Amino acid sequence: MRHLKFKEIDSTNTYLKREYQNFDNLTFVSTSFQTNGHGRFSREWFAKEDESLLLSYLIKDRSLIDNFSYISMFTAALIVKYLEDKGIKNVAIKWPNDIYVDGSKICGILLEGEIPHYLVVGIGLNLNQSNFNNFNLRHPATSLKMLSNGKNYSQEDETKSLINVINSFWDNFSNDWHVFDNFIKNHNYLKNMRVKVTNQAIKIEGIVEDIDSECNLLINNGKEIV
Ligand code: BTN
């Protein structure tokens, strides 16, 4: 395991995408501030200095890359465990890669890369924001500080402990792709909610029943489970 720390960088994901050839599997990159952080669908991902945990890690192990559909859900499961260990309640995974607490987003995960060469897993976890009033967000958001009566969190300490959780999981991983089956099913934020999902140009609308053991969302469209 290697951990590179920056004070400021364009984006920890972009850095690892540029440099992946120079680093090994499980290289972690964190920063205090990103000038060009991005989320899914190229949306801007902004946080003031020291307000967020901004972390990416590199995967180059072929057996992990070949199972890429599990990687962001497993990362989400590990982050849920890390939050629950801090005493945060009602933490859930909003399929495919957000983490919610009590109906508000606390963390987003962004998987990028080039299969079969490498994957970059980016994590943006809200730590010390007091509110999100100026963000014009599509969904409500929260932070660890907002969930802990205004307590401030050290970006450095939280980054280190989350890296420990993620690194020790993958270090001890023995290719059991079903270790999180029950945990993921039990933390399915969308369960019983009505959703609209587009899968390869096919629009599916219905009620979420479950997440299966291949990390697919199972939706009941009134006629069948798709
Ligand atoms: C999302 O919810 O759309 C995913 C957000 C991912 C943000 C993180 S912050 C660290 C890493 N660097 C980036 O530019 N993005 C990810």
CA of 25 to the centre of ligand 1 (A): 20
CA of 112 to the centre of ligand 1 (A): 10
Q: Is the CB of 47 inside a 6 Å radius of any atom of ligand 1?
A: no
Q: Is the CB of 13 inside a 6 Å radius of any atom of ligand 1?
A: yes
pLDDT at 72 over 90: yes
pLDDT at 86 over 90: yes
Q: Mean pLDDT, the chain, as a whole number?
A: 95
Question: Per residue in 101-114, pLDDT tens?
Answer: 999 999 999 999 99
Confidence band, pLDDT 50/70/90 cuts, at residue 200: confident
Q: Is the CB of 11 inside a 6 Å radius of any atom of ligand 1?
A: yes
Classified as helix, coil or strand, 7 is: strand
Q: Is the CB of 122 inside a 6 Å radius of any atom of ligand 1?
A: yes
pLDDT at 3 over 90: yes
Order of strands across the sheet that contains 118-126: 2-9, 27-34, 52-59, 118-126, 104-114, 98-101, 91-94
Confidence band, pLDDT 50/70/90 cuts, at residue 12: very high
SS3 letters across 81-106:
HHHHHCCCCCEEEECCCEEEECCEEE
pLDDT of residue 20: 98
Confidence band, pLDDT 50/70/90 cuts, at residue 128: very high
Question: Per residue in 144-181, pLDDT tens?
Answer: 999 999 999 999 999 999 999 999 999 999 999 999 99
Q: Tell me which of 7 and 199 has the higher pLDDT.
A: 7
pLDDT of residue 138: 83
Q: Whole-model pTM?
A: 0.96
CB atoms within 10 A of CB 223: 7
Q: Is the CB of 56 inside a 6 Å radius of any atom of ligand 1?
A: yes
Lowest pLDDT segment from 22-26, 109-113, 136-140? 136-140
Confidence band, pLDDT 50/70/90 cuts, at residue 15: very high
pLDDT at 136 over 90: no
CA of 14 to the centre of ligand 1 (A): 10
pLDDT at 137 over 90: no
pLDDT of residue 225: 86
The closest alpha carbon to 115, from 159, 68, 166, 71, belongs to: 68
